[in-house]
Structure 1
Amino acid sequence: MPEINAENTAENTKSVIKKGDFIELDFSAYTKEGKLFDTTLESDAKKEEIDTRGKKFEPIVVCVGEGMLLRGLDKALEGKEIGKDYEISLKPENAFGKRNPQLIKTVPLSAFTEMPHAGMIVNVDGFIARVASVTSGRALVDFNNPLAGKEIIYKVKIRRIVKDNPSKIKTIAKMFGFELENLEEKEGHVKLFIKKSKSIRKEDLELLEKKIRELVKTECEVLVKG
């Protein structure tokens, strides 16, 4: 009888994440200074005294390697084990990017509908920005992401590999920004019903079908309902 190495057998049966896997996870995201800015856990939000009224806290499902998370976090998940907790640190270039001085603009006060003040969040020509300072007749407006230039720490709990096709397909539809009405699966073929919207384009539906075939390995037909 061949000798069995118990240690190696256990190692080989570990569930390790690879690119293309659909996984369910919880996370809490902090700046290096310890400020929580995003979480799927109500308990963490309450610890930081964040208002949780009207907010839904639940694990998220993502497909690893498909850009559903920050680039650095997405890449860091590969090779991690299911059921474990991880703390993942991201440099600015792998998180929200480095600060760009060219995204700090001078805007005349006449362009504002109300008198701006430092720290005020404003909409300038459809772009969200923060007022950095106000001087005589003008304001310095920062269009950088507020988290740009910051090192980010993610505390992640990887819960499970998602196996069922409906959950995978719903995740992909959400990535495309579609609102799902219904999903029918029969004999390896899926019919996906998307809520009608003026912004839906034929090419977007075709891309969705292609992505589902690529990631879920099943034939799919996307229909607009309503």
Structure 2
Amino acid sequence: MGGKVEEGSLILLDVSIYDEGTGELVMTTDEEEAERHGRRLSEKGPLLVQVGSDDIFRPVMEALVGMKEGSSGEIVVKPKDAFGEYDEGKREVFTERRLRREGIDPSKREVGDTVELRGRRGVVRSMTGGRVVIDFNHPLAGKTLRVRFRVVRVLSEDAEVVRAVVADAFGVYPDEIEVDLKGEVATVKLCPAAFMRRDSLARKYKALSKIMRLLKSVRKVVFVEEFEIPERSEPQGDLAEP
């Protein structure tokens, strides 16, 4: 067994969440579990969790304290500790004209579609008589959830923390990120899947912000993006040299 989880520990956590009422898998970071349920992975690799923060449901956080690396747990989480109770007041009615003014074309929408309206995300519940009902509750509001989790690793080395934070910010696996930590300088080599993202700069700032908060010993982060130029083939036909 590895390290012990304490308040403030930074850990990598495999998580699978199920609807307690139906048994449906809601999300998972476990490849085998995703395959068993015919679902896609919700995250690439385990979640990066700081124990004691709001990174995951409070009852799970409380259960993690005292666990050891490699150990597992399971807990039922009530709505009040998950995504809240279902609020009928968050079901709102809009005219089709109003939605068009907001940039949403009702003729291209159908029941069940997700829409963005002034920074809020909702689901279309009905469309009748020129009126559209949009539900702004979280999809899991009012649901009791069963959470299974496993402590994959308790991060203790600064280089491990940097790697995990960067991987989490870019949505890639930790082993796709290379970190060389010398003194106060962390050199981070990004994989193409990370640096080719359109919002790569914003993700770098996200990673930097978290590294600065977690590691006082790191004063500088250098991101390396390596491009490999493919070999050029020799000209053919009339373009070839004699």
- Confirm or deny a common fold (TM above 0.5): yes
Q: Which of 47, 55, 76 does residue 36 from structure 2 map onto?
A: 47
Aligned pair in 2 of structure 1 residues 104, 88: CA closer, same or farther (>3 Å)?
Answer: same
- DSSP-derived class of the 1:66 partner: coil
2:180 match: 184
CA contact (8 A) 2:16 2:29 kept: yes
CA contact (8 A) 2:20 2:143 kept: yes
Pairing of 1:110-149 with structure 2 (within 5 A): 110=97, 111=99, 112-115=104-107, 116-149=109-142
CA contact (8 A) 1:209 1:220 kept: no
After superposition, the C-alpha distances for 1:106-139 in whole angstroms (9 at most, x for unaligned) are 1112324143433222232343211122221111
Pairing of 1:1-226 with structure 2 (within 5 A): 16-33=4-21, 34-50=23-39, 58-110=45-97, 111=99, 112-115=104-107, 116-173=109-166, 183-186=179-182, 188-192=183-187, 199=202, 207-208=209-210, 210-213=212-215, 218-223=217-222
Percent of aligned positions with the same letter in both sequences? 24
After superposition, the C-alpha distances for 1:11-40 in whole angstroms (9 at most, x for unaligned) are xx9954211222233221101121101111
CA contact (8 A) 1:181 1:225 kept: no
Aligned pair in 2 of structure 1 residues 182, 70: CA closer, same or farther (>3 Å)?
Answer: same
Q: CA deviation at 1:92?
A: 1.3
TM-score w.r.t. structure 2 length? 0.68
Q: Higher mean Cα deviation, 32-41 or 89-98? A: 89-98
Give the letter aligned to residue 162 of structure 2: I
Whole-angstrom CA distance in 1 between matches of 2:33 and 2:171:
29
CA contact (8 A) 2:96 2:130 kept: yes
Aligned pair in 2 of structure 1 residues 49, 197: CA closer, same or farther (>3 Å)?
Answer: closer
- DSSP-derived class of the 2:215 partner: helix
Aligned-residue Cα RMSD (Å) equals 3.5
Whole-angstrom CA distance in 1 between matches of 2:209 and 2:119:
27
CA contact (8 A) 2:170 2:203 kept: no
Whole-angstrom CA distance in 2 between matches of 1:28 and 1:75:
17
After superposition, the C-alpha distances for 1:65-99 in whole angstroms (9 at most, x for unaligned) are 23332344233312233332211111112212222
Task: Name structure 1 gaps, 5 residues minimum.
Answer: 1-12
Whole-angstrom CA distance in 2 between matches of 1:58 and 1:175:
9
TM-score w.r.t. structure 1 length? 0.72
Whole-angstrom CA distance in 1 between matches of 2:91 and 2:46:
36
Report the count of equivalent residues: 207
Give the letter aligned to residue 25 of structure 1: L
Aligned pair in 2 of structure 1 residues 224, 161: CA closer, same or farther (>3 Å)?
Answer: closer
